[in-house]
Structure 1
Amino acid sequence: MDAAIDRIMQTYDLLANRTAAASEEARAKVTNYLNTLIEAGEKDPHRLTVCGLTYLRQLDGSVDPVKAGYTGL
């Protein structure tokens, strides 16, 4: 799990500049989230990485289509 968290945080930090405190908060949140996934039976480190990145991007709103400029037209 530590390898997946490290990969998540390396990739997530490349997406935008964040303070050290914001990165540590994101690491704590994604760690809790991955623990939940592992308890539910997920063991694939690649899938955990993708799920963790998706989770963090949803938390910060970067996957919101409205914010991205998508109008549906």
Structure 2
Amino acid sequence: MEAAIDRIMLTYDLLLNRTAAASDEARAKVTEYLRTLVEAGETDTHRLAVCGLTYLRQLDGSTDHVKAGYTGL
């Protein structure tokens, strides 16, 4: 699980320029989320990394196309 978390945070930090405190908060949230997935039976590190990154992007709103500026025009 730690390998997946490190991979998630490395990728997420490349996507967004955030403070150390924001990065620590994101790490704590994704750790809890991945713990839930692992307890549910997920063991694939790559799948955990993708799910964790998707989770963080949903939290910060970067997967919302309207917030991202895509209007469809």
TM-score (norm 2): 0.94
**Aligned partners of 2:69, 2:29: CA distance in 1, in Å?**
27
Percent identity at matched positions? Answer: 84
Secondary structure of the residue aligned to 2:41 is coil
Identify the residue that residue 34 of structure 2 maps to in structure 1: 34
DSSP-derived class of the 2:53 partner: helix
* Alignment map for 1:1-73 (pairs within 5 Å): 1-72=1-72
AA matched with 1:20: A
Displacement of 1:5 in angstroms is 0.3
The alpha-carbon deviation at position 72 of structure 1 amounts to 4.5
RMSD: 1.0
Deviation at 1:70, TM superposition (A): 2.9
SS across alignment from 2:3? helix
Q: Deviations over 1:6-46 (max 9, x none)?
A: 00000000001110000000000000000000011100000
**Partner-residue secondary structure (3-state), 1:67:** coil
Residues in 2 aligned to 1:70 and 1:11: alpha-carbon distance in whole angstroms = 23
TM-score (norm 1): 0.94
Number of matched residues?
Answer: 73
Q: 1: CA distance between counterparts of 2:28 and 2:20?
A: 12
